[in-house]
Amino acid sequence: MFCEKAMELIRELQRSNEGQLPAFNEDGLRQVLQEMESLYEQNQTDVNEAKSDGRSELIPSIKLRHCCLLRNQRCLTAYLYDRLLRIRALRWEYGSVLPANVRFHMCAEEVQWFSQYKKSLASFMRSLGGGEGLDITQDMKPPKSLYIQVRCLKDHGELEIDDGTVILLKKNSQHFLPRWKCEQLIRQGVLEHVMS
Amino acid sequence: MDTQSYLPVKPGVGMEENFLSLDDILLSHERLPIRTECSFPRLGFLEKSSDSHDIPEGTKMELPLWLSKGLYEKKRRVLSVELPKVYREGWRTVFNADPNVVDLHKMGPYYYGLGSQMLHFDSPENPEIAQTLLQTFIGRFRRNMDSSQNAYNEDTSALVERLDCLEKALFSSGQSGLNSFQSWEKGRASQLTASSLVLNYRKRKINDLQP
Amino acid sequence: MDASEVEFLAEKETVKIIPNFSLDKIYLIGGDLGPFNPGLPVDVPVWLALNLKQRQKCRIVPPAWMDVDKLEEMRDLERKEDTFTPVPSPYYMELTKLLLNFASDNIPKADEIRTLVKDIWDTRIAKLRLSADSFISQLEAHAKLDNLTLMEINTIRAFLLDSLNCLYKLRSNQHPGSSKGQFADF
């Protein structure tokens, strides 16, 4: 049956749950486009024949191929769109710099889209609060206090805080740090929020 | 968990599909038994059991829902669609008697979705099908609500295994409400946690390393 | 809505404290606070009360309803009535948790209060589910949510809204073509 390749793309995305981004399936995409090309060519031939020789019995087959073209188009659009939704989520979960293993799964256009999304978001955040700017990716939960206790889950090097002090984030060390400095690192799994 | 920032396109449920919803694309890939009412020249290869050049009129075969919908015409007979067993009178009687005993996952898994889509094909039974779908949903509602709102911190696979896709989605939205309240009650709601997306990536990386 | 956001809203409720320090009135966007004088009761928002309490700067006076006799009466009424009875505070659950966690030494019979409030909560949630079920099964078009609190609604919101959405779609199936035009060829 036609459109099986396109379904594979969709199933592949559906299997990666919780919004994970599977590797961009360039090969699959190409195969679907190839199928569409050949469907289109067959239809052209049949349409011409139907017109010139009055062979109207070809019409049902033309319609069937046309449905398959539309179906392939729908699957590809949905595939690309759903990937964009996942990529957008990465900005909120990881921050503006993506780890290499995640970036590796994106195609060139997606990398470009991500950096444009990043820029729009940044310029929106800069424009908030009368030019003062406001980081809306912070404080996703209402903060209870300005400082929190954190434990390092892995070696992460140095971290500079507002007053210029530099702290060494060494595995298993505990620190009392400004909450806004830690939020991103906690989301990335570098630090762990210790509740008293 | 509730700060999940990936929000997929939701399925349309009912008769309207959502163009970009992955769930709806999978649903519309369900195969339906059909009978061709005209011949399809030069497409014989789609029908595996024959090796003729065309698909002749009167062939019984299975086509995916999306194709059946696309080809179906009310005025001109191109194909006729057979109603899948679960929506026929025999099963409808079972559903109307006690919707809770049925394993909708086995019968579906898109019981409501596919049933609603079947209404696109003219059939004198359509009003009864629509009625049964609605009554089944209502009849099973209480059980689904109670199980999704009571099962805290336990393995829910047994609870969801007999649910259809739509009910499963409802179950998990019930669970997220319950979990968020419970973690608040335990004083965990204000704790900052690592993104589940990040954790999953890490898990996958470790799995990749262990062949 | 996350439960921690509901709690955040609850922290704007006022509570009486007895400070052990003195400070002039302070003027904030959200309203004026103080003045604070040792031994003189003053009304402050819960977030401030808890902060001062944690630094041992005050004693918290529990709200009048946070009392074993009154809560027992409420629990019995809640169990007797089929409808939701009025609650003493729109944030009774959140305030109970916050005050008992941080200031249990200022609240007499803290443990009994905790149990009673939990009983009231459980009774109300059971009622909520019962009414949600009859709402769905009788295909009602609207429901009154009188006397329900935000936290209570919040526990069932996602589930109920999604269910109602499905129900709406399944009901529209009975009158095909009424919602929109004929089907699109996807």
Yes or no, beta carbons of B9 and A93 under 8 Å apart: no
Q: Same domain, yes or no, for A102 and A31?
A: yes
Which value, in Å, is the radius of gyration of the alpha carbons in chain C? 22
Q: Which fold has domain B83-185?
A: Methane Monooxygenase Hydroxylase; Chain G, domain 1 (1.20.58)
Name the percent of chain C lying above pLDDT 90: 80
Q: Same domain, yes or no, for A109 and A153?
A: no
With CA atoms as reference, report the closest residue to B43 among C50, A68, C58. Answer: A68
With CA atoms as reference, report the closest residue to A36 among A8, A10, A74. Answer: A74
Q: Taking residues A1-10, report their average pLDDT.
A: 94
* CATH 1.20.58.1020 corresponds to the domain C3-172: yes
Amino acid B1: pLDDT: 37
What is the nearest CA distance from B52 to chain A, expressed in angstroms?
Answer: 15
Higher pLDDT, A2 or B52: A2
Q: Is A89 helix (H, G, I), strand (E, B) or coil?
A: helix
Domain with residue A48: its CATH number is: 1.20.58.1030
Compute CA distances B110 → A66, A143, B7, B117, B144, whole Å.
26, 42, 21, 10, 16
Q: Which residues in chain B have Cβ-Cβ distances shorter than 8 Å to C167?
A: 134, 137-138
What is the nearest CA distance from C59 to chain B, expressed in angstroms?
Answer: 22
Q: Is the pLDDT of residue B151 over 80?
A: no
Q: Confirm or reject contact between B142 and chain C (CB < 8 A).
A: yes
Give start-end residues of each CATH 1.20.58.2050 domain in chain B.
11-82, 83-185
* Host domain of residue A72: 4-127
Amino acid A19: pLDDT: 86
pLDDT digits (tens, 9 = 90+) for A146-166: 899 999 998 988 888 878 889
Name the percent of chain B lying above pLDDT 90: 51
Q: Confirm or reject contact between A68 and chain B (CB < 8 A).
A: yes
Backbone angles phi, psi at B4, to 5 degrees: -55, 125
Split at pLDDT 50, 70, 90, the class of C185 is very low
With CA atoms as reference, report the closest residue to A77 among B10, B25, B27. Answer: B25
pLDDT digits (tens, 9 = 90+) for A105-127: 999 999 999 999 999 999 999 99
pLDDT digits (tens, 9 = 90+) for B19-72: 999 999 999 999 999 999 999 999 888 887 777 888 989 899 999 999 999 999
Q: Is the pLDDT of residue A63 over 70?
A: yes
Domain residue spans of chain C:
3-172
Q: Which residues in chain A have Cβ-Cβ distances shorter than 8 Å to C184?
A: none
Amino acid C103: pLDDT: 93
Split at pLDDT 50, 70, 90, the class of C1 is confident
Yes or no, beta carbons of A82 and B199 under 8 Å apart: no
Yes or no, beta carbons of A142 and C4 under 8 Å apart: yes
Compute CA distances B85 → B25, C95, C105, C173, whole Å.
22, 55, 66, 19
Whole-angstrom distance, CA of residue B165 vs CA of residue C176: 23
Tokens found for residue C123: 């009774």
What residue in B sits closest to C153 (Cα-Cα)?
B177
> Long-range pairs for A165-173 at CB < 8 Å and ≥24 separation?
none
Whole-angstrom distance, CA of residue B193 vs CA of residue A115: 26
H helical segments located in A16-164? 26-52, 59-94, 100-103, 108-127
Q: Taking residues C72-80, report their average pLDDT.
A: 96
Q: Which residues in chain C have Cβ-Cβ distances shorter than 8 Å to B185?
A: 97
Yes or no, beta carbons of C163 and B12 under 8 Å apart: no
Q: Domain B11-82 is of which CATH architecture? A: Up-down Bundle (1.20)
Name the percent of chain B lying above pLDDT 70: 94
C109 close to C68: Cβ distance less than 8 angstroms: yes
What residue in B sits closest to A19 (Cα-Cα)?
B6
Yes or no, beta carbons of C4 and A71 under 8 Å apart: no
Split at pLDDT 50, 70, 90, the class of B211 is very low
Q: Is the pLDDT of residue A18 over 90?
A: no
Q: Which residues in chain A have Cβ-Cβ distances shorter than 8 Å to B38?
A: 57, 60
Q: Is the pLDDT of residue C114 over 90?
A: yes
Nearest to A67 among B8, B70, B197 (CB): B70
Yes or no, beta carbons of C2 and B3 under 8 Å apart: yes
What is the nearest CA distance from B96 to chain A, expressed in angstroms?
Answer: 33
Amino acid B205: pLDDT: 65
Yes or no, beta carbons of A70 and C5 under 8 Å apart: no
Residue A117 counted as domain residue = yes
Q: Taking residues A116-141, report their average pLDDT.
A: 91
With CA atoms as reference, report the closest residue to B195 among A188, A89, A83. Answer: A188
Split at pLDDT 50, 70, 90, the class of B200 is confident
Q: Which residues in chain A have Cβ-Cβ distances shorter than 8 Å to B71?
A: 60, 63-64, 67
SS3 content of chain A, % helix, strand, coil (to 5): 55, 10, 30
The whole-chain average pLDDT of chain C stands at 90
Q: Same domain, yes or no, for A66 and A157?
A: no
Q: Confirm or reject contact between B169 and chain C (CB < 8 A).
A: yes
Q: Is the pLDDT of residue C183 over 70?
A: no
Q: Confirm or reject contact between C170 and chain B (CB < 8 A).
A: yes
Q: Is the pLDDT of residue C125 over 50?
A: yes
Split at pLDDT 50, 70, 90, the class of A42 is very high
Residue A132 counted as domain residue = no
Amino acid C2: pLDDT: 86
Nearest to C4 among B15, B173, B184 (CB): B184
Split at pLDDT 50, 70, 90, the class of B199 is confident
Q: Which residues in chain A have Cβ-Cβ distances shorter than 8 Å to C55?
A: none
Split at pLDDT 50, 70, 90, the class of B77 is confident
Name the percent of chain A lying above pLDDT 70: 99
Q: Which residues in chain C have Cβ-Cβ distances shorter than 8 Å to B13?
A: 165-166, 169-170
Q: Taking residues B166-193, report their average pLDDT.
A: 89
Q: Chain-centre distance of CA B165, in angstroms?
A: 5
Q: Taking residues C117-130, report their average pLDDT.
A: 94
Split at pLDDT 50, 70, 90, the class of A131 is confident
Compute CA distances C183 → B78, B137, B165, whole Å.
17, 23, 22
Q: Confirm or reject contact between B18 and chain C (CB < 8 A).
A: no
Yes or no, beta carbons of A74 and C8 under 8 Å apart: no
Whole-angstrom distance, CA of residue B137 vs CA of residue B147: 15
Nearest to A189 among B26, B199, B204 (CB): B199
Q: Same domain, yes or no, for A38 and A100?
A: yes
Q: Same domain, yes or no, for A184 and A105?
A: no
Split at pLDDT 50, 70, 90, the class of C181 is very low
Backbone torsion region of residue B98, taken as left when φ is above 0, otherwise alpha when ψ lies between -120 and 50, otherwise beta = beta
Yes or no, beta carbons of A182 and B192 under 8 Å apart: yes
Q: Best of B1, B3, B4, B5 to disrupt the A interface by mutation (most A CBs within 10 Å)?
A: B5
